[in-house]
Amino acid sequence: MSSPAYPLALDVTGRRAVVVGGGPVAARRARRLIDAGAAVYVVAPAVCEDLTDLVASAAVQWQPRDYLTGDLDGAWLVQTATGDRATDSLVAADAEAARVWCVRADDAASSAAWTPSVARAGDVTVAVTAGGDPARARTLRDAVALALDTGSLPLRRHRRGTGTVALVGGGPGDPGLITTRGRRLLAEADVVLVDRLAPRALLAELDPEVLVVDVGKTAGHHPLPQDEINRLLVEHAQAGRHVVRLKGGDPFVLGRGGEEALACVAAGVPVEVVPGVTSAVAVPAAAGIPVTHRGRSRQVTIASGHEGLDWATLAPLDGTLVLLMGVSGLADATRELVAHGKPAATPVAVVESGFTDRQRTTTGTLESIARLAEERGVQPPAVVVIGDVVDLHELLG
């Protein structure tokens, strides 16, 4: 490859692109052109299975013969990958004469154009070339793709566009439990509305220009009511900003995410939900308590511990009962469950501050757990687990 090359992105939408060759390399080149919207024309006496599928789906037109001078008429771009040097050289020479850019798979140094290895994340595309060494380019591409996916590169826009909202579940406290997609969207954010139990350590990685709004709630203290949070999400998105609502756990598991998504939809704001690791399952696991286990529990019921519940329905259920936000109402909950027929000896665990250095587990029974929790000074955030699986804490915790 001559140096320096001139990097350029091409809009091939609707434009004729010719692929000469019928093997796997030609199939990969054809697929990329199709994905870019080109009108793809394949010339080869025979085609591999992948190209056969593209022909059958009418994604490409196939001329089942050897290449002939004239096949490039009307083309904007040609990629040749026949495996035969003489044929590839003929295609390149015809392309040069017709002033059509030609990419050769067999000899990068003889090409007039090169296809880079590409890493994509949302609307960001990073192209990598490496001096005609495709394997080296792929290795670099993979490293860049990982950095894009994990949000470790600066992805935030500096020009306003269409505003969006992402409801991102951050998991139960440990920053390492957020998904890679959630991490990337956070790296793209202009505005972040953050909950008290979200992985706040991630905020230190944000661009200093990102607006961070603390909307964290504690029992009896709601600095911003839900309607105001909904309004802020919509207002910032309508101003062309990327907005992330960073939550602990999962947005759709007792996280008010449904209400926020509906507010965005009603306002015509694009909204995406990124699931998170819910504390209802993860925090018990951190204490060595699987919420289901063969021979002990085949089902799990998750409920909000500080709202009026139908104890008459919950008490007879088999399996595991998990209460979120259940510390303040623990005495009432255990008393109601026993009153409605659940055995007083049923094992109970309260797991505080899961996945943090303050994690602590208190175990007892429906009869004793409220007293034990009070004696130990149990504080939220905590997850209450009720059922026979609690006994596994002693073995796995």
Task: Assess if residue 329 is contained within a domain.
Answer: yes
Domain's final residue, options 277, 292, 320:
277
pLDDT (tens digit per residue) in 149-175: 777 777 887 777 899 999 999 999 889
| pLDDT surpassing 90 at residue 371 | yes
- Residue among 263, 267, 265 nearest 230 (CA): 263
Distance CA 350, CA 284 (A): 9
| pLDDT surpassing 60 at residue 3 | no
Between the alpha carbon of residue 266 and those of residues 164, 214, 230, 313, 321, the distances in Å are: 14, 24, 11, 35, 35
Task: Assess if residue 206 is contained within a domain.
Answer: yes
Which of the residue ranges 174-183, 213-222, 290-299 would you say has the lowest mean pLDDT?
A: 213-222
Percent of the chain whose predicted confidence (pLDDT) is above 70: 97
Kindly name the residue from 50, 217, 388, 391 that is annotated as catalytic: 217
> Are 191 and 258 in a shared domain?
yes
> Are 110 and 178 in a shared domain?
no
> Are 178 and 266 in a shared domain?
yes
> Are 104 and 139 in a shared domain?
no
pLDDT (tens digit per residue) in 243-296: 999 999 999 999 999 999 999 999 999 999 999 999 999 999 999 999 999 999
pLDDT (tens digit per residue) in 78-133: 999 999 999 999 999 999 999 999 999 888 778 888 888 788 877 788 888 776 67
Who wins on pLDDT, 221 or 362?
362
Q: How far is C-alpha 263 from the geometric centre of its chain's CA atoms?
A: 22
| pLDDT surpassing 70 at residue 218 | no
Report how many domains make up the chain: 4
Task: Assess if residue 97 is contained within a domain.
Answer: yes
Q: What is the pLDDT of residue 220?
A: 56
**CA angle centred on 316, ends 312 and 321, rounded to 5°:** 95
Residue 137, domain extent: 116-149
Task: Assess if residue 156 is contained within a domain.
Answer: no
- What confidence tier does 221 reach under pLDDT thresholds 50, 70, 90? low
Q: Residue 254 belongs to a domain with what CATH number? A: 3.40.1010.10
> Are 287 and 265 in a shared domain?
no
> Are 253 and 296 in a shared domain?
no
> Are 226 and 252 in a shared domain?
yes
> Are 97 and 201 in a shared domain?
no
Q: What is the pLDDT of residue 1?
A: 47
| pLDDT surpassing 80 at residue 217 | no
> Are 373 and 306 in a shared domain?
yes
Distance CA 218, CA 199 (A): 16
Domain's final residue, options 277, 293, 314:
277
Q: What is the pLDDT of residue 9?
A: 85
Q: Tell me the average pLDDT across 191-211.
A: 93
Indicate the pTM of the whole model: 0.73
The answer to whether the CB of 179 falls within 8 A of the CB of 276 is yes
Q: What is the pLDDT of residue 4?
A: 62
Task: Assess if residue 179 is contained within a domain.
Answer: yes
Q: What is the pLDDT of residue 72?
A: 97
Q: Which residue has the tokens 């998170």?
A: 276
The number of CA neighbours under 13 Å toward the Cβ of 105 is 20
Domain's final residue, options 223, 258, 277:
277
Q: What is the pLDDT of residue 133?
A: 75
> Are 325 and 297 in a shared domain?
yes
Kindly name the residue from 195, 247, 250, 342 that is annotated as catalytic: 195
> Are 307 and 339 in a shared domain?
yes
pLDDT (tens digit per residue) in 20-73: 999 999 999 999 999 999 999 999 999 999 999 999 999 999 999 999 999 999
Q: Is 195 one of the catalytic residues? A: yes
Task: Assess if residue 159 is contained within a domain.
Answer: no
Residue 313 buriedness (CB in 10 A; 0-12 / 13-18 / 19+): exposed
- What confidence tier does 222 reach under pLDDT thresholds 50, 70, 90? low
> Are 101 and 174 in a shared domain?
no
Task: Assess if residue 3 is contained within a domain.
Answer: yes
Q: What is the pLDDT of residue 124?
A: 82
Between the alpha carbon of residue 232 and those of residues 59, 187, 226, 260, 270, the distances in Å are: 44, 19, 10, 10, 14
Q: Is 36 helix (H, G, I), strand (E, B) or coil?
A: coil
Q: Is 20 helix (H, G, I), strand (E, B) or coil?
A: strand
How are beta strands 382-386 and 320-324 bridged, if at all? antiparallel
How many C-beta neighbours within 10 Å does residue 173 have?
Answer: 26
The answer to whether the CB of 116 falls within 8 A of the CB of 127 is yes
In sequence order, which residues have a C-beta less than 8 Å from that of residue 312 and are 6 or more positions away?
Answer: 340
Q: What is the pLDDT of residue 100?
A: 96
CA dihedral 243, 249, 253, 259 (to 10 degrees): -20
DSSP letter assigned to residue 378: -
Distance CA 6, CA 82 (A): 26
Task: Assess if residue 348 is contained within a domain.
Answer: yes
pLDDT (tens digit per residue) in 133-148: 778 878 888 888 888 8
Q: Is 247 one of the catalytic residues? A: no
The answer to whether the CB of 319 falls within 8 A of the CB of 360 is no
Q: Residue 300 belongs to a domain with what CATH number? A: 3.30.950.10
